[in-house]
Structure 1
């Protein structure tokens, strides 16, 4: 009874899953020796961020401005044909345009942060792997490792990225078509795309631990779904952290560390 009540009050792990980046930060503070494992990944993130933010963010900002201009012109023309007594609608339209611009900027930052994570985690994998091993040793007192040769490791890494692309295509393409239907279709497409992005982010940050056991992609995905809603809140918080420019240079390693702690606590050693 007490265990069930604890689960209900904790949202069946929802609140606990969201706290793991903070738990990782506390672990770093208590174990300063871990910082050496994130020095090079942070440098890698800075290099990748310069390329992404100087390119993708610049052109993305132009697209946002273009969409805003077209939308403003269309809405102003629409209001111009309305009776004069409906002039107050211009204020509503201005607010609506500002809200749409804000949403577009948020989407742009999320997309840029997502790409930064994909490249940063991939390029920093050797150091993140060592960090994950140290965290597992701290948390459980041992490290489980399935040894493979370099060629096999490289092959698994490439295959993992390809399977992620397949997942994105299988889910993302239908969502694009659903988006063609205004109203409900747009809502479903937006929620679906956000859920897909959160799932991929969650997979990436749990992967340092899971890949060390050479688990197949479907098993990794099953672990994410089996541990909902904790994995959902974990992925959501991580997605927010990696979407903040400059701050994400540090939060990406933090989220990688929190993924290992999450698995150690909630998967390999089930919560009581």
Structure 2
């Protein structure tokens, strides 16, 4: 489907990045001012959050064993260099696990809470003039489409995460540059995932939203990185997820050239 394209704002990339982060703040404001939205948004994130905390705790518990498993070449080394390479491998595993957890948390939570977050997104759109070009999609069709696109995004993020995991072994670079790249990659995929509901409501699929968000990549990254950082905070994902859905609705409307000023 051909979609209208919104020209990128005539400001610098840094300004557009900050503007994208500001959309999350606006989403938080909408969420905090609407007790009904808060009740809709908390339950799915709590369920998903409990599952992912348990999974990440398991990864932390076994990280030393995993580090030894991927560095068999160091088995015959003396204790100091063997310990050093495995100390580097451990954070690399945790970094990969964190990246995948943040991206898959969004996918799983959106699947669990699909009707809840759809309602949040609808209510946000109503505040800003409704949904031009809305199409009727049954719940089961919407759920199947959401799962299919989520699986595709998770698979792509895993493929991107593997090279980042390998780069995590590099001294200094693996502990400085790689986390920044990881946040940017994770933020991009989070944005693509979170804008799903308003695009589905208009009969548009993953290729459509990818194309439109690329038109103003700094804004998209600003929003996504802000969400990514919030999700790394303990319980941040549980608390921020509904507000992120609200902010993503604003991002989608902006990318489609529609008003993001309350009426």
| Superposed pair shares fold, TM > 0.5 | yes
Alignment of 1:89-128 (within 5 A): 105-128=94-117
**Shift in Å at residue 208 of structure 1?**
1.9
Equivalent pairs, count: 248
2:64 pairs with 1:76: no
C-alpha contact 1:205 1:256 (8 A) present in aligned 2:
yes
**Shift in Å at residue 222 of structure 1?**
0.7
| Equivalent in 29, 33, 36 of residue 36 of structure 2 | 33
2:207 pairs with 1:203: no
**Shift in Å at residue 191 of structure 1?**
7.3
Structure 2 distance, partners of 1:106, 1:175, is 12
TM normalised by structure 1 equals: 0.70
Q: Deviations over 1:186-213 (max 9, x none)?
A: 8998877654433221111111211211
| Equivalent position of 2:5 in the other structure | none
| Equivalent position of 2:23 in the other structure | 20
Structure 2 distance, partners of 1:233, 1:67, is 34
**Shift in Å at residue 168 of structure 1?**
4.1
If each structure's helix is expressed as a fraction of its own residues, which one has the higher value? 1
| Equivalent position of 2:251 in the other structure | 262
| Equivalent in 131, 154, 168 of residue 143 of structure 1 | 131
Q: Which range moved further: 215-224 or 193-202?
A: 193-202
In structure 1, stretches of 5+ residues that fail to align are 79-92
2:153 pairs with 1:164: yes
SS in 2 for 1:143: coil
| Equivalent position of 1:55 in the other structure | 58
Q: Deviations over 1:66-112 (max 9, x none)?
A: 889x69x768359xxxxxxxxxxxxxx99x99888666645443333
Structure 2 distance, partners of 1:230, 1:157, is 24
**Shift in Å at residue 128 of structure 1?**
0.4
C-alpha contact 1:160 1:217 (8 A) present in aligned 2:
yes
Aligned CA distance change for structure 1 residues 54 and 192 (closer, same or farther; 3 Å): closer
2:118 pairs with 1:129: yes
C-alpha contact 2:227 2:244 (8 A) present in aligned 1:
yes
C-alpha contact 1:199 1:235 (8 A) present in aligned 2:
yes
Q: Looking at CA atoms only, which structure, 1 or 2, has the larger radius of gyration?
A: 1
TM normalised by structure 2 equals: 0.72
In structure 2, stretches of 5+ residues that fail to align are 1-7
**Shift in Å at residue 56 of structure 1?**
3.6
| Equivalent in 217, 234, 238 of residue 223 of structure 2 | 234
SS in 1 for 2:204: coil
Aligned CA distance change for structure 1 residues 248 and 60 (closer, same or farther; 3 Å): farther
